[in-house]
Amino acid sequence: MKFFRIFKNKDFINLKTLREELSKQSLDLSVELIRNMSSHLYAKQKNVSKDTLFVAIRQKNGVGRLNRRFISNKGGCYFSLALADKKENALAAVPVISVAIATVLSGYMEGVSVKWPNDILVKGKKICGILCSSCVHKTVISAGINLWNDISALGDSATSFYAQGAHKGVTRASLIARIISEYYKLSTVDFEIVRKEYDRLLNIVGKKVTVSRKNGVVEGRVKGLDKNGFLILQSALGQEYTIAEGDVTVN
């Protein structure tokens, strides 16, 4: 009951609080609050005439990479940003939002890192998942962050703001606004700056890994990220591979 008591008393979220926090960051976005649906699936279906933020109270059908389902309890931070009239490389958007989230989270806690291709970790435990999609006339950038929500069902593989003791003074509305603001700032700089910061945060640079893909397995040492958001691996024979997607295991 502890998680839900905190959620009810200290982190009430509605359109008014969202708009107030976005205004503090000088962000002019349309905003829509969703009760139970995946913000990513909802944003993909909606026609938007301007950049629009969709925030879910909870997600009964939370969806991640490769259509994997995940727990989205009340008290978590679940949002999608639909960029209007922009059909960008969704893979290239991942490092930008990853660095934005990692930058903001680093202001609250230590040990923040990136796990390729779409997770943010704190001291080796997952605190955030990211999903980006290119759609007709828009790109949808989504994230799910463990804030106040109960993560006990996830065992020792996950953490949250509450578990890290970093929850004082944090609300979902303020956290989302800070992340969106940081994303827009990073999206205007040279991607090379973002790429270097992503490489610094990447927790597997220099390590030997195995990447499992739909069409097979690749092994090698991680060199970092390329300009398209692909992972660069170097084999034992010195051959380089660029990998768009897969599940990474450190050897």
The per-residue DSSP string of 108-176 comes to T-S-EEEETTTEEEETTEEEEEEEEEEETTEEEEEEEE-SSS--GGGGGGB--TTTTT--TT--HHHHH
Which is more confidently placed, 120 or 241?
120
The pLDDT, as a whole number, for residue 216 is: 84
Architecture of the domain defined by 204-250: Roll (2.30)
> Which of 66-80, 86-100, 103-117 has the least mean pLDDT?
66-80
Percentage of the chain beyond pLDDT 70 is 88
Q: What is the mean pLDDT of residues 43-61?
A: 87
The pLDDT, as a whole number, for residue 87 is: 62
In whole angstroms, how far apart are CA 138 and each of 74, 94, 165, 166, 204?
28, 15, 37, 34, 31
Which is more confidently placed, 79 or 73?
79
The pLDDT, as a whole number, for residue 38 is: 86
- How far apart CA 64 and CA 192 sit, in angstroms, is 27
- How far apart CA 70 and CA 129 sit, in angstroms, is 10
Q: Name the region of 149 (left: φ>0; alpha: ψ -120 to 50; beta: rest).
A: beta
pLDDT band at 61 (very low <50, low <70, confident <90, very high): low
Which is more confidently placed, 5 or 33?
33
pLDDT band at 155 (very low <50, low <70, confident <90, very high): confident
Percentage of the chain beyond pLDDT 90 is 56
CA neighbor of 3 nearest in space, from 61, 70, 58, 54: 58
- How far apart CA 27 and CA 21 sit, in angstroms, is 9
pLDDT band at 148 (very low <50, low <70, confident <90, very high): confident
pLDDT band at 220 (very low <50, low <70, confident <90, very high): very high
The pLDDT, as a whole number, for residue 66 is: 47
Averaged confidence pLDDT in the chain: 87
Q: What is the mean pLDDT of residues 80-87?
A: 84
Over 60: is that where the pLDDT of 68 sits?
no
**What letter represents residue 71's amino acid?**
I
* 34-45 pLDDT, tens digit each: 888 889 989 999
Tell whether pTM > 0.75: yes
Q: Which of 65-69, 96-100, 160-164, 231-235 has the highest mean pLDDT?
A: 96-100
* 188-217 pLDDT, tens digit each: 999 999 999 999 999 888 999 999 887 888
Indicate the class that CATH gives domain 2-200.
alpha beta
The pLDDT, as a whole number, for residue 83 is: 93
What residue segments make up the domains of the chain, in order of their start?
2-200, 204-250
pLDDT band at 3 (very low <50, low <70, confident <90, very high): very low
The pLDDT, as a whole number, for residue 31 is: 96
